[in-house]
Each structure stands twice: as structure tokens, then as C-alpha cells.
Structure 1
């Protein structure tokens, strides 16, 4: 049986005297038999530069030194100790930085806003995570080399479910002598920290990672705001009814339609927020509209509040300061199955302000069955209010509709328009 050796490029078994590989065409070096390759001196152990004892610290130093080393090998113990190191470091970074940077975006483009401290934390976190990712990726390539596999096997990770499992199996394989074909190093290799292109790659990876984290943080902030709003809408109805009852009791003692400031309550609750009130004025309204779908919409009370100081609502690009609140009490009687949306109403004031109903308004609208009654409070946040007496009239507009199969029915949709004089 003729002796053979392994191709220094593709690792295939070829005749020992071959000067080039019949499979890949690569020129071969000095003839060495496969038996000699597989039974080399004990000190080589078919493995690349393995120290007598491998631990977490030694593996981490090797990984840091070879962050951008591609065409070398790393033994199985070295790789998995390094993997454990990187998992623990990632966990620590997530605890120290991750929860903070993922909670709120560091910068917003529209409108442009930058949080300096959040940006610094984001860049530090992204730089470290990018370095760890590169270290892990190149180490995986070297581990595949050590088992005589090309780094192109990493493409298997793109296959759903099966791909990652195959990669893990490959990474767990023993070292193979034929993997020496990947040991291509210069006589005096320059450390990666002394190469300009490695730093350029790290900067690009850091910026890309930071952008991805910032987008995720913005989505998390929006989801958190929506969740808070949903929970607040569930509880605000009871609080609003209680506040409404106390004000109506005060109105019943007044002979005038205009009520004086209520001294019994110096705060109101909207959603989860208690807002201190410096002054308030309640007005009796008499708006009634029964002209559509046999249904009746009534507004019987409007209250104007001046907050004790400036408050902030919303988050991110929707964040705004306010010092005034208008509360409108509305009741609905459905004469047929209808869909009404007063909580999406727009309110305009005599001093030129126009605002949408606050998300923490009572949840009393939507789809209403025929014959049902519903009522609740609508809250409108005013950015500017110097005195409750400055608001002398308000105008509300909201939509309602019903389903019909009659194509000639032009009355299935209606926009209500109510102007209320506060006097």
C-alpha cells in the first residue's frame, strides 16, 4: 500500500510524492506521509500551542490576543474555557449597562434629541459587546480549523433550528493533524492593536451595534408607555367617577350655575399620577344631541384645573409640559348598535389651544349595543394656562358610526361638533 499525506490546503489524502493536490490544485511542500502526520512527536499532540494547563484566565488572554486572528487554530479546551469567559462577561455587562441602555433611547432623530449620559453608556456597552462578538466569532473559526474544517461551516448557523446544533457538534470535535493546513502566520505577526484596519472594523461594529440597541430601546420605551397607558385606563374610571361625584355634590349646594373653586380637593388622579391643583372652576353644561341614529350624547359638566406647578406628560418625542387640565363629563345612550369615540376627541379653547383627549381618559366609548347607557370623563391636557378664568369656551369634535348594508344610507357616519360656553 503506497504512503499518503494530507493536502496542506484542502486536507484531502493524496500520494506522498505528489507535488500538487489533484483535488484543489494547491502546490505541496516537503513530502510527509499521513502516518508521520498522524503520529507526530508527543509534544505536538496534534494540537496548536496548547499549554500544559488551560484555565479561564489563560483562555481569555489567548482570545484577547487573537481577536482578529483567523488563519490559526485553537484547541477544544481553550475554546470552551474562552466561551465560558465571554458568557460571564456578557452577563456582567448586561447587568451593569444593558438594563439601562435598553430602557430608553440615547438619541432620537425626529425631533432630534441626545441624552449625553445615555449615549456614553450606549457607546461603551456597544464597543465591549462588539469586541466580545468578534472574539467569539474568530475563535469559532479557529476551533473549526483545529478539527480540519473550513470557517465556511459557520454558514450552517443560518439554517433554522438544525444549523446551530450542527455548529455545536463541529465545535466539540477533537483536534485533527490535517488542521495544520490552516496554520499560516508570518514570522513576526503584528498585534491586532497595532493595525489600523482592526480599529476601523471595531468602530463600525460599535456604531452598528449601538444603532440596533438604540432602535430596540426606543421600541421598548414605546411599549412601556402603551402598557402603562392600558393599565391606567383600567383603573382611572373608578377614580374619575369618585372625583366627579364629589364635585357634583359640591355643585348641588350652589344656586348659581357657576361653581366657586372647590377647596375640599387639592389634587386629582389621572391614570397613575396624582396632580396637585392650585385652582379649579366647575361649570354646568347643557349640550344634548339626539339627531343621529336614535342615540343621545350629553355633556353636563366641564371643569377647568390650574395645576400647582408644571407637570410633564408622555415620553420621548411626545413628551410635553403642561399646567392646565380640562375635564369634560359625557354620557351616551345608544339607540342602536353604534361605535362612538369621544376618547379620541379634539378640544380647542378660546385662547387658541387645540389638544387631543388624554390616553388616561375614562374607557366608556367604543362599540355600544342598542339600549345601553355609558358615561365617563374626558381629560384634555393644556400646555399653557395662567388662570382658570381665561378659559371661557371650549369646542369638542368626535366621531361615531354604525354598520349598515344599505348603500343609500349616508347617515352611517357622523362627526359631532359641540361648542360650550363656560359661564
Structure 2
């Protein structure tokens, strides 16, 4: 006898269950897609924020080009308003112990009045510094002290180079040594020349030919 019973997949309840399963599957896939879109957007915002921070840092660094110019003398910082450099190319060969060259002189003007503390002249107001660059070439074992000299300007000022620069002193034979001497200036407006005086001698005290008193003037023009 032939059975009239329908297969289970043609039953009403099977069709209903299948429809429900398809509906929920579509919902789940749609939710997953929306979640993925949110994550992509969030990563984009983070990247944009990072770029903005980097731009801010670059802008700040660019601003450093307008930073104040500072000259440090005796461990104290001085803000510089302007600087003028001269190339005298002065060389003194009158010394048996070698030669002394001043190849550059820079006149610094400070941005304001500073109180300068001198080792020998007490405290006084300054408006700048004069910095001389020396090159010393020796022919014998010598002692030479431009950092302990006196410096007189055309405006009537006289100062000692009593800063912490100490590159000179005892220098051996056939040595080339260089360094700067920085001297305070009370009034920078009328410094046209500088007279330089310092001593030199031989390390062998029995050789008087190496004793020398340097005294020369450099015109700033």
C-alpha cells in the first residue's frame, strides 16, 4: 500500500524553521559587517590624530629658528642681539719662540645691560663682548698667556681676559694650538680697535731669548 506521508523537508514546520535560520544568518552577517566598518573608522581616526601630533611637533621645531642667540662666558649665559666679525689676519713673528696669529675678531652686542663680575675690577655693567681667535705655532717649549692679557679699546676701556678660557699656557715645541679669548665691553658703539698685551717665555728659564712682551694693536674694519 502506497504511503501519502510528505518528506520532512516539505512539512510546514520544516519550511518555517529553514526560513527562521536564513533570517538569523543574514542578521548575524550584517552585524559583523557593521562592526568591521566601525573598526576601520576608528583606526583612521587614530592615524589622523597621530599625524596631527607629528605636525604640531614639526611646527614647534620650526619655531626654534627664532630661538635667542646665547653666548656663555664664565658659565653665565648672555643673550646676543647682534654680532659683527672682522678678519684682521694679523701675525706676529717677532718672537723667537714662535708666531702668534689673530685671524678673527667678533664684537658681540648683548640684548640688554648685564652686570659683569670681574676677578680684578669688581662688578660693572656691560653691553657686549669682544672675542679674539688665536693661532699659536711654537718653535720651542714655551709658556704664553693671551688669556691672561690686558685688552684696551679705542673708546678708552681696558679689561682683563679673566674668563675660564685656559687653552694656552705651557705649549711644547713644534705644536700648533688655537683658542679664543673673550673680553667684556661696556660700550660697544665706538670700538674701532683693540690693543693687546700679554707675556711669553721659555720653559727653560736659562734661555732669556724666549722671554717676550707682546704688545700689538688690531684695527677693526
- TM-score, structure 1 normalization: 0.34
Match of 1:332 in 2: 136
- 1:274 deviates by 1.7
Query: 1:411 aligns to what?
Result: 209
Aligned length: 155
**2:220 aligns to what?**
422
Cα offset, 1:404, TM superposition: 4.0
Q: Do 2:118 and 2:162's aligned partners in 1 also have CA atoms closer than 8 Å?
A: no
Q: Flag the 1:273–1:305 CA change in 2: closer, same or farther, 3 A.
A: same
Cα distance in 1, alignment partners of residues 67 and 124 from structure 2: 29
- The one-character-per-residue Cα deviations of 1:265-301 (angstroms, maximum 9, x if unpaired) are 7321223222111122110011111222241110000
Residue 125 of structure 2: aligned partner: 321
Q: Which residues in structure 2 correspond to 1:119-130 (within 5 Å)?
A: none
CA deviation map 1:364-393 (0-9, x unaligned) = 1111111112111101111233x3xx2111
Mapped partners of 1:383, 1:282: distance in 2 = 18
Higher share of residues assigned helix: 1
Cα distance between partner residues in 2 of 1:399 and 1:287: 17
8 A contact 1:358–1:378 mirrored in 2: no
Structure 1 or 2: larger strand share?
A: 2
Gaps in structure 1 of 5+ consecutive residues: 1-262
Question: What's the TM-score once normalised by structure 2's chain length?
Answer: 0.64
The alignment status of 1:295 with 2:98, answered yes or no, reads yes
Higher relative contact order (CA 8 A, sep 6+): 2
Correspondence 1:395 to 2:195: yes
Relative to 1, partners in 2 of residues 1:377 and 1:265: Cα closer, same or farther, differing over 3 Å? farther
Tell me if the contact between 1:333 and 1:372 (Cα under 8 Å) persists in the aligned partners: yes
Runs of 5+ unmatched residues, structure 2? 1-65
Go from structure 1 to structure 2 and tell me whether the alpha carbon gap of 1:373 and 1:265 turns closer, same or farther (over 3 Å shift). Answer: farther
Counterpart contact for 1:334–1:373, Cα < 8 Å: yes
Q: Find the aligned partners of 2:127 and 2:173 in 1 and give their Cα distance.
A: 39
Residues in 2 aligned to 1:287 and 1:402: alpha-carbon distance in whole angstroms: 23
Contact 1:287/1:418 (8 A) holds in 2: no
Residue 341 of structure 1: aligned partner: 145
> How much does 1:410 deviate?
4.3
| Cα 1:340/1:321, change in 2 over 3 Å | same
